[in-house]
Every structure is written in C-alpha cells, then in structure tokens.
Chains A and B, each alone.
Chain A
Amino acid sequence: MKDELEAFVLREARLLDERRFAEWLALFAEDAVYWVPTLPTQASPQEALSLFYEPKTLLAMRVARLERPDLHAQTPVSRTVHHVSAVEVADLEVRSALVVAEWRAGETRWFAGRVLHRLRREAEALRIVLKRVDLIDSEAPHRAIAVPF
C-alpha cells in the first residue's frame, strides 16, 4: 500500500507540472479542503489567515480560472517542477517534503515546505480529503502565486 500511496502523491504533483489542472482537481474528494496556512502551528483555518483555504467548489473556480487566457498572473504561464521526496505513509496519511521551482516571465523562484495528504478510498480510487502545505516561509511576503503547491 505504501507504494500505491506514494505513487498517488507523485502523480498528483506531476499533474500540476503538466498543467493538467482538471485532472488534478478530480483527485480531490467532494468534501476536500486544500489548505496552505500562514502559521506553522496553525490548528485550523478559523484561527488565523491562510494563503489558500479552499473547499473543492472554490478550488474548482481556481482551476477553471487557470485555464483562461485572460488570467494576467499566468500570462505567460509558469513552468514548474514539484519535487516530492521523503515520503512517509501511515494508514491513509502521507507526509512528504516538497520543493517547487517555478520559472515565469524570465525569472525563477523557489518554494519549500512539508505536505500532509489525508486520503480516502472511494470506489477503489484514492481521493484527497485534505492537502495541507506548510511552507517554510509561510509568513514571508510573497509575490503573486497562481499555480498551487
């Protein structure tokens, strides 16, 4: 099962790099939450501000917008590498380390953090119930972020 879950999170990251956003969204359960808190110790999105706090319906709007030609923050589009490593699996929880390199409009920038995937089996398929990304510099000033982590 460890191999299956590891393959799942690696594929999820690759879908973002290949800009297959609709397929990426389909990996999330209907009641899923995609969350990037601002504080490393943040227990909930109700406690403090978040860089992203999106139930699937809101995430679906983000994904639909990513496909639009009039999204200025993605004109030109980004090229990214989501590097996932140090994968640890316990039941249906996957913990990993993430480094994202993003190249856009002549500049490269980097993000790094820890990721928690909470998964569920739905009709034989794995689905994401929670994806939490804790950036090491979550409190730092950030320029516009368009592609999810």
Chain B
Amino acid sequence: MAPEYSSLVERGRVHRAAYIDPAVFALEQERIFRRAWLYVAHESEVPNPGDYVLRRLGSAEVLLVRREDRGLALLHNRCAHRGARIVAEPAGNARQFRCPYHAWTYGLDGHLIGMPLPEGYAEKVELGLERVPRVESYRGFVFGSHAAQGPGLAEFLGGLASAFDNMLDRAPAGTVSRFGGALRLEYRGNWKMFMENAVDLVHPPYVHRSSVETARDQPQALAADGLTQQGAQMFLANGMRAAQWDEVPLHAFPGGHVYMGGFYRSGVIAPERADPVYERYRAQLVERHGPEKAAAVLAVDRFNNLVWPTVSVNSRFAVLRVVQPLAANRTVVEVQCFRLDGAEPAMHELTLQFVNLAASPASLVASDDLELFERCQRGLEGAAGDWIDVRRGALADRRQPDGSTLGRGTSELAIRHQFAAWLQHMTQ
C-alpha cells in the first residue's frame, strides 16, 4: 500500500491504511508524536533534586529529572559516547548520571561532567545528554515536545486545560500527587482505537452487555459491600439506552481534544455519594472554595476528557490514561491515579477501586474493549473493503462561538474531529 496521506480521510469515512499501514505509523511518529505535546509525568513523581523517572515520549525513551535548582530537565536516555542506555530502573534518585559502559558522567541537566582519559581528545568534548527541546508543566502535569517550535502547552491544551483545573479544584489542599503504581493494558491494535472508543457512547450496551446483564441478574450486588456496589453501578450504567447517552453531549475542540459532559447526571455510573466520608470531603471543599464554588467544582460531571493524542483524563476520580503507540498494530495504555491532597485515605481507596474495576486488563468492563480493539485490527487487516464509516450524528453537530463543536452523545463527532486533527498534522 502506498497511500496518498491526504486521501486517507474523506467526509464521513477513513481509509483502513490509517490503522494498519506501518508506513502511516512511521509518518505519525514523525508528524504527530514529534510535534505535539505528549504527557510525560506528574511533578509529584520527582519532588526532590536528583529524582528521576524513565518514560516514553513518542518513540523515544526519556528521563524526567528534578535538577538542583528544582527546575525540570527532560533528557534522552542515551549516552553521547557510544549510545548505551544510561538508566535502566524506572525511577530513582541520582546525584549524576554515569554511563555503565565507559563512565561518561553527566549532571542532572544533562551536561557532560567528565569521562576517563580526557587527554585522548584533541579538543574539549562539548557533548551531553540530548535534551528534549521543550518541557512544560501545566499546574504539575508535565508534557514534553520533540519540536523546538510550536504553540505553548497552555495554548495546546486549550479548552481541555479545564480537565486538569477541575481535578486540582477537587483536592482539598489544591494539589494532587501520583500514587498507587500503574495498571498497564496492551492490545494488538492501533492507538487511535483507544482514543476513539473513550468517547464512543454507542458501544457500551453492546460491548459491555455481559457485565450489564450480570449486574441486572444480581440486584443484591447493589446492597453488598461498597466495592461490589461501586462495580454493580458501573456495570449497570453501560446499559443506558441510546436516548440517555444522547444527553451526554460531546464537546470537541481544535487539535482533536474532546470531552463528554453530563455523564454522572444522566447515568448511575457513579452517583453522588451521601456517606460520611463523602460528606466530610464535601465540607473540606466548602472550606477551601466557599459553598458556591465548591458546588460548581463538584457539578463538573465530565467523564473522559481527551487531550489528543496521548491522554484521557478523568477529573472526578483523578485518573489519567496515557496512550503509548508501539506499532501500527500494538498499543499500551498506562493507567495512573492521583491522591486528592488533603482528602482522607478513604477517598484515595475509592480512586483505586474505581480504576481496578474500570481499567484493569482483567476488568469486567475494559477486557471487552480490548477484545474489540483486536477484532477491529484483525478485521481491517484481513478482509475486503478499504473504508470505515464515521458519519453518524454529523447532521446534529453544532459549531460554538468559542471555536469548539457540540455534538450529541451518540454522534461520531469525536472520531471525525480527531481525524481532522490527524489529517492536519499528517499533511503538513
């Protein structure tokens, strides 16, 4: 296949090469993942000078380091001498980085401190660990870009910065901290499928039917322990009728970002709680914000907030899902959660439970999504027919004065919107 990239996306349909062609994937790496702001880590993961975490940024392995001056450095994990990977542990603390091969040694900002036998060089060696050109933090959430030029992070986030704002507003202390390790899901399918599915509100009753029906068959689960209740509510919510899903409007922003609003209000996926833990938490927020703002913060009832191309944010449960494209047909999604600083431990446990239930590879919900991604990939790879159809709901899409587009919950607006951003990157 040697597609003309501009012809892969037409009005209401997409060529399957966008999902399966390794040449398209390679070009995505260059034109999307080497240009856009990609999520790296949260500042709470590197609180002290010398702290580092090892992460993936597009196809590169990078180190996010807290420097001596408390600023952040984002460095390629590759020795300037002979190319060895310098750090092999996923996180740690270092005073300097020393290559295990020939002991070239670098400071926390990547500059070369020294190497054995400097007299063997005719001139002073000016090499260092290569820096990722841009690293910026949005209120603690650190993104990196392989492009030296381009819009700043706040401009890139645009209407989706509010997803991070709302997560922070929900913390009684005004900050959040990463905790709890991570869940990592893999599927033999294209990365775009995850980003599309996260804002696809027609699939739940079909894909998740087995857990919906199980919960309907076992109404006693709603009266069982808190964890089982939380699960049963989540499973049942996926069984909402199309008319109910339509009440969850999609908001699509330039650049491919999308969020869905009205989720908790319409459904029962996570109803407002009335237990003592939640009441104490609500009182803490009233203390921080005053009653009106606290009510407004808690009333933001979006579910998935997509910061295209790599992050899905759930503000209420303080969860990020970070997409890592590994090949045209291979993707890893890392699920990370955060403490709402100042809240009591029972609130953090609720976050862990929510993520276990919703996002583990063994989840009664997520396992069926992963299966469908793999079926889509195999279908696209193996069978006849070059196009997929994404027309549903286009008639009801409405442009808003702020440049965003509003669509019904059952619209495929989000997919069309992501492909508009995709096409813009791929053809420039």
Chain A contact residues, CB within 8 Å of chain B: 36, 38-39, 42, 45-55, 57-58, 60-62, 64-65, 68, 70-73, 75, 139-146
Chain A residues contacting B352 (CB-CB under 8 Å) are 45-46, 48-50
Chain B residues contacting A71 (CB-CB under 8 Å) are 210, 368
In the complex, the chain B residue whose C-beta lies closest to that of A62 is B364
Contact between A53 and B214, CB atoms less than 8 A apart: no
Contact between B224 and A139, CB atoms less than 8 A apart: no
B272 at the interface (CB under 8 A from A): no
B361 at the interface (CB under 8 A from A): yes
A143 CB to closest chain B CB (Å) equals 5
Chain B residues contacting A146 (CB-CB under 8 Å) are 362, 367
Q: In whole angstroms, how far apart are the Cα atoms of A45 and B182 in the complex?
A: 13
Contact between A61 and B184, CB atoms less than 8 A apart: no
Q: In whole angstroms, how far apart are the Cα atoms of A143 and B186 in the complex?
A: 5
Chain A residues contacting B368 (CB-CB under 8 Å) are 71-73, 144
Contact between B228 and A70, CB atoms less than 8 A apart: no
Chain A residues contacting B235 (CB-CB under 8 Å) are 61
Contact between B356 and A53, CB atoms less than 8 A apart: yes
Interface pairs A-B: 7 shortest CB-CB: A141-B186, A141-B184, A144-B367, A144-B370, A145-B362, A71-B210, A142-B361
B370 CB to closest chain A CB (Å) equals 4
Q: List 26 A-B contacts (CB under 8 A).
A: A47-B180, A48-B352, A49-B355, A50-B360, A51-B360, A53-B227, A53-B356, A55-B225, A55-B227, A57-B228, A58-B228, A61-B218, A61-B228, A61-B231, A62-B364, A65-B211, A72-B368, A72-B371, A141-B332, A142-B186, A142-B361, A143-B186, A143-B188, A144-B187, A145-B361, A146-B367
B327 at the interface (CB under 8 A from A): no
In the complex, the chain A residue whose C-beta lies closest to that of B218 is A61
The B interface, classified by DSSP as helix, strand, loop or mixed, is: helix
Q: Determine which residue in A39, A46, A73 has the highest number of CB atoms from chain B within 10 A of its CB, and name it.
A: A73
Chain B residues contacting A53 (CB-CB under 8 Å) are 227, 353, 356
Q: In whole angstroms, how far apart are the Cα atoms of A141 and B323 in the complex?
A: 12
Contacts A58-B228, A61-B221 given; does A51 touch B364 at CB 8 Å? no
Chain B residues contacting A46 (CB-CB under 8 Å) are 345, 348-349, 352
Q: In whole angstroms, how far apart are the Cα atoms of A45 and B350 in the complex?
A: 11
Chain A residues contacting B24 (CB-CB under 8 Å) are none
A98 CB to closest chain B CB (Å) equals 15
Q: In whole angstroms, how far apart are the Cα atoms of A117 and B238 in the complex?
A: 34
Contact between B180 and A48, CB atoms less than 8 A apart: yes
B54 CB to closest chain A CB (Å) equals 13
Contact between B182 and A57, CB atoms less than 8 A apart: no
Contact between A49 and B183, CB atoms less than 8 A apart: yes
Chain B residues contacting A58 (CB-CB under 8 Å) are 221, 224, 227-228, 231
Chain A residues contacting B134 (CB-CB under 8 Å) are none
Contact between B370 and A73, CB atoms less than 8 A apart: yes
A78 CB to closest chain B CB (Å) equals 12
User: CB-CB contacts of B119-151 with A at 8 A, as 1s and 0s?
Assistant: 000000000000000000000000000000000
Q: Please report which residues of chain B, range 192-217, place their CB below 8 angstroms from some CB of chain A when the two chains form the complex.
A: 207, 209-211, 213-215, 217
List 15 additional A-B contacts (Cβ < 8 Å) besides A70-B209, A73-B368: A38-B182, A47-B180, A49-B181, A49-B182, A49-B355, A51-B361, A52-B362, A61-B235, A71-B210, A72-B368, A75-B371, A139-B182, A141-B334, A143-B185, A145-B361
Chain B residues contacting A144 (CB-CB under 8 Å) are 187, 361-362, 366-368, 370-371
Contact between A60 and B183, CB atoms less than 8 A apart: no
Q: In whole angstroms, how far apart are the Cα atoms of A61 and B368 in the complex?
A: 15
Q: In whole angstroms, how far apart are the Cα atoms of A50 and B349 in the complex?
A: 12
Q: Which of A52, A139, A140, A143 has a CB less than 8 Å from the CB of B181?
A: A139
Contacts A61-B232, A65-B210 given; does A50 touch B221 at CB 8 Å? no
Q: Please report which residues of chain B, range 306-354, place their CB below 8 angstroms from some CB of chain A when the two chains form the complex.
A: 332, 334-335, 337, 345, 348-349, 352-353
In the complex, the chain B residue whose C-beta lies closest to that of A33 is B227
Contacts A49-B335, A65-B211 given; does A140 touch B184 at CB 8 Å? yes
Contact between A70 and B367, CB atoms less than 8 A apart: no
Q: Which of B185, B186, B214 has a CB less than 8 Å from the CB of A65?
A: B214
B372 at the interface (CB under 8 A from A): yes
A22 CB to closest chain B CB (Å) equals 13
Q: Determine which residue in B211, B214, B218, B372 has the highest number of CB atoms from chain A within 10 A of its CB, and name it.
A: B214
